Structure 1
Amino acid sequence: MPPAAPRRRLSPLLGLLLVLAAVPGCSEEPPPPLPGGPAAAPPAESPFWVDPQSAAARQVAAWEEAGRNGDAQVLRRIADRPMALWPTGDDPGTEIRRAAAGAAAAGRTMVLTAYNIPYRDCGQRPAGGAKDARAYRSWIGAFAAGIGGGKAVVVLEPDAVAHTVDGCTPSGRHAERYRLLSEAVDRLKRNPHTRVYLDAGGPGRTGSPADLVAPLRKAGLEHADGFAVNVSGFQSDTAARAYGAEISKAAKGKHFVIDTGRNGDGPLPGDRAEARCNPPGRSLGRAPADRTGDPLVDAYLWVKRPGESDGTCRGGPAAGAWWPDYALGLARRARE
């Protein structure tokens, strides 16, 4: 049996090429999901985790494979930014544990939205939520357990409090809702590194900001880290900040976070309720960061994931579905 041929040393250039060939994303197809897989590094000023499995990230990979490199590069303005994860299904734990593993590996903080309160969205489309109080308690318990000791920022139940103020949620459901929200705050705050922000609506949606203060207190604001404004909205930073400051003043200085995902150009002129559904000509807003330079604003976050539809208005897909053309428009008009 002849001796084995001597192993030849790789040249530095060839070694580099082999390494590059093994990098995920350089293959012909997008890599399959991997628990807590590698993520693009977020901007230096952001401590938040970037999800490598987001719809935007997958769209970038698909467009690169198809040779649409220019569009893919523009869409990275979304894909390479941290966005909130909205866990779905009866057990949110699996999705959250994936995010927690990825965030821990990257030394980052995950951003999550809890959105499953019973009678969500007043029972209208996109209706859903837990079937009753017992189911919600179980769901939020699994949500909190999924976070465990990881670092997380949670925006709690968009519109849940606002809809008790604007008449959308029947008065007979208010007491239960406040109780469930308050319990959710307390359960989440049992985690050592979880910050909780109750959703508080936004400018032009719920009348006077002062109307939110008492309901927010009933919903557990005192035990939360603060509240969130402009979630899924298009109001400017200035308008959102003024709205939040009014609530904060009446709530003993509570801090807040602002959703800046799609507010780069503000709302449509003469903004009406229907104009908040996939309005044309909008752009990405300020990048997510926790260094705001504002003593009241704890963070700018992308809570509503840019590029996900508000509903079937203006030719969009179902609410929450990925809409690449709309996403590309938001990214093209972005100033950052």
Structure 2
Amino acid sequence: MPSHLLRGLRSALAVTALAAAGLAPAAAAAPAAQAAQLAARVDNPYTGAGVYVNPEWSARAAAEPGGSAVADQPTAVWLDRIAAIQGGPGAMGLRAHLDAAVTQAAGRPFVVQLVIYDLPGRDCAALASNGELGPTELPRYKAEFIDPIAAILADPAYAGLRIVNTIEIDSLPNLVTNAGGTATATPQCDTMKANGNYVNGVGYALGRLGAVPNVYNYIDAGHHGWLGWDSNLDPAVQLLHQAATSAGSTVADVQGFVVNTANYSALREPNFTIDDSVNGTSVRQSKWVDWNRYVDELGYAQAFRQRAVAAGFDAGVGMLIDTSRNGWGGAGRPAGPGPRTSVDSYVEGGRIDRRFQTGNWCNQSGAGLGERPAASPQPGIDAYVWVKPPGESDGASSRIANDEGKGFDRMCDPTYTGNARNGNQMSGALPNSPLAGHWFSAQFQELVRNAYPPLGGGSADSTAPSVPAGLRSTAVTASGVSLAWTASTDNVGVTAYDVYRGGVLVGSASTPAYSDSGLSAATAYSYTVRARDAAGNASALSAALAVTTSAGGGGGGSAGCSASYAVSSDWGAGFNANVTVTNTGTTATKSWRVTWSWSGNQQVTNLWNGGLSQSGQAVAVVDAGYNGAIAPGASAGFGFGASYSGANAAPALTCTATS
């Protein structure tokens, strides 16, 4: 019998069991035919279904500048404390959300997404997301949190909904990396591993909720920058299997796994793969990848699913990827790979995830909205989802008294550089953030600005354009080369072709032709081309073309540049800005340098697409290598975040260039 039919049969039998246990109203003990019809799960709940738009989140999003463009997107409802079940003044409870979902469904297949998140000793390796229950309060978790939720979900009024649960984010992954003698162990995680309350709590939640016929449980499985190393991935899969077969649960109660929940890891890194190497050195050896087996969430999710099935989970399990904040768009998004001068230059110059380190998790500066929610976007992936509602804070940037059990974690402090798990890098957090789960207007506006695919365009298409073919030179002089190639084909249309000279991006074209100027006479050059589409996908590089410029004449010309400065956001104690560098000379630049002096007490806290040095009020930024070459009239640039108090006047910039 197919696995999904086995799950459906088990769920049908569970209707009677729920009624007998007092968890469901007596009406749930329906005639067998009706119960079987209600209990028939599908392999992927998102297929052919609408998805619930939380009216509370939608209203907050719509009230923000530009927020109306995404206010109709479905986001998850977080049940992160006992009081959230009933709701309260100004806040909808679980029944209110389910009633609203029934109305939105209007009789069609319809998904409502919940986050089940109140384990005893919750989030043992952090402080910002600690919860209300102490490490030993498993009985309260069962009786006051899971049992009431199960009773509400079993109400026949909601039997037509497909209820998708994300089960206890961060809990089990923390036991893999932060407990039991690991270098990053914490006393709280050691306690939770020793008393078994994470494992048994997750097992209890899976069994109780999985007994409701129209519920789909997805266990949180961390992200690639957490569990992607060989030493973490298999132990994590085994621990999740242990939880799924504990406290009354079986693997039939697990419909899949969710990754990147409330995190920022890129869905795809388009400019390099784990199989790339530079001068014989693997990408795995770069400082950013650090021997990880994966470079993005899509590859990690597909691999995790295969490992889970091999470990004994149902062959029909699927994966969800939270794409709510991993778009990494905006002016700082690299247009192509970094230079092949070293593996670190190659990865650093091309990576779209612009965090200082993959362990940075709190209110990350420069992040953007990612792929919009979509069903079955890739093999093995049930859906891209927005589990973390964009605009809800990860944690407070300073200590705030509260009655929610939430502490102050220095990883939410933009000035913090002292976390060994993070390699003592900067936290990358935005300033002035509120408590976890509270609305953070500045973050929402930054996510909207940096959305990728951009708002108002793009799509969730994930098919890369075909590789540009037939690259050839149509004209060669002593100082320039004209190139042409066959146009690429693509599902959503090619928007640009990136041209690389010697592995360094030198320009882009909207049509399959490009003129490269400012070259040296009688010199050999090598060119490749990559196509990009409206959804942000990039093709592989074309075959290389070797061209030698003609003798005589020389390149000639002079080098020069100008720099313009624009603030993209300002929240009173900090701001983000972009600097555009334009080649004003008659020959291509090889490098550039921008300098200025602040008129106040501004300090750059993080910078992308350039190299930073600052001393007091003096700031100097040089190109990042991959963006040093600028053709005459063309532009490149960099962006940064900074803190300040008082006035924030724009500085006067000075730009110098070499050719």
TM-score range, shorter chain: 0.7 to 0.9
Is the CA contact 1:161–1:216 (under 8 Å) kept in the aligned structure 2? yes
- Residue by residue over 1:66-122, the C-alpha shift from the partner in whole angstroms, topping out at 9 and shown as x without a partner, is xxxxx2xx1123321110110243244331111111111111321110110010111
1:289 aligns with 2:294: no
Q: 1:46 to 1:268 in 2, by over 3 A?
A: farther
Residue 258 of structure 1 is matched in structure 2 by 321
Q: CA RMSD in A?
A: 2.2
**Structure 1 pair 333–214 and aligned structure 2 pair: CA distance change class (3 A):** same
Post-superposition offset of 1:172? 4.3
1:141 aligns with 2:139: no
Query: Which structure would you say has the larger Rg?
Result: 2
- What is aligned with 2:216? 195
What amino acid is the match of 1:327? Answer: F
Structure 1: stretches of 5+ with no match in the other structure: 1-43, 64-70
Q: Deviations over 1:210-260 (max 9, x none)?
A: 231101101117230011100011112231121122221121153210000
Using the alignment, how far apart are the partners of 1:137 and 1:246 within structure 2?
33
**Alignment pair present for 1:224 and 2:254:** yes
Aligned to 1:310: 394
Instruction: Say whether residues 1:267 and 2:286 are aligned partners.
Output: no
Is the CA contact (8 Å cut-off) linking 1:307 and 1:322 kept in structure 2? yes
1:152 equivalent to 2:163? Answer yes
- Distance in structure 2 (CA, Å) of the matches to 1:212 and 1:262: 24
Task: Kindly provide the CA deviation profile for residues 40-80 of structure 1, in whole angstroms up to 9, marking residues without a partner as x.
Answer: xxxx98621101122x513534x6xxxxxxx2xx1123321
C-alpha separation between the residues in 2 aligned to 1:129 and 1:303? 21
- Provide, for residues 18-48 of structure 1, a one-character-per-residue CA deviation record: whole Å limited to 9, x for no partner: xxxxxxxxxxxxxxxxxxxxxxxxxx98621
Give me the TM-score of the superposition, normalised by structure 2. Answer: 0.40
Which residue in 1 is equivalent to 2:303?
246
Q: Given that residues 47 and 290 in structure 1 are in contact (C-alpha distance below 8 angstroms), is that contact kept between their aligned partners in structure 2?
A: no
**Which has the bigger relative contact order, CA under 8 A and spacing at least 6?**
1
1:99 partnered with 2:97: yes
Q: C-alpha separation between the residues in 2 aligned to 1:286 and 1:325?
A: 20
What percent identity do the matched residue pairs reach?
A: 28
Higher share in strand: 2
Structure 2 Cα separation of the partners of residues 325 and 173 of structure 1: 35
Distance 1:295 1:141 in 2: 35
Answer 1 or 2: which has greater helix percent. 1
Rounded to whole Å, the distance in 1 between the matches of 2:385 and 2:235 is 24
Query: TM-score of the superposition, structure 1-length normalised?
Result: 0.77
Residue 113 of structure 1 corresponds to 115
- Determine the structure 1 residue equivalent to 2:68: 76
In the alignment, is the contact (CA less than 8 A) between 1:45 and 1:289 conserved in 2? no
Shift of the 86–269 alpha-carbon distance from structure 1 to 2, 3 Å rule, reads: closer
The 8 Å contact of residues 45 and 291 in structure 1, kept in 2 or not, is answered as no
Partner of 2:438: 321
Shift of 1:205: 1.7
1:214 correspondence with 2:238: yes
Q: How many residues align?
A: 280
Cα pair distance change 1:295/1:78, threshold 3 Å: same
User: Shift of the alpha carbon at 1:267?
Assistant: 3.1
Aligned equivalents of 2:133 and 2:355: distance in 1?
36
The one-letter amino acid paired with 2:142 is R
Amino acid of the structure 2 residue aligned with 1:186: G
Asked if structure 1 preserves the Cα contact closer than 8 Å seen for 2:368 and 2:446, the reply is: yes
Partner of 1:11: none
SS at match of 2:216: strand
Q: Greater CA deviation, 245-254 or 233-242?
A: 245-254
Contact 1:78 1:306 in 2 (8 A): no
Contact 1:93 1:145 in 2 (8 A): no
CA-to-partner distance for each residue in 1:281-334, whole Å, 9 max, x for gaps? Answer: 111011112232x23111111111111112223311122211112101211222
- Secondary structure (helix, strand or coil) at the match of 1:121 reads coil
Going from structure 1 to structure 2, the CA distance change for 1:186 and 1:282 (only over 3 Å counts) comes to same
What is the CA–CA distance in structure 1 between the aligned matches of 2:200 and 2:372, rounded to whole Å?
Answer: 34
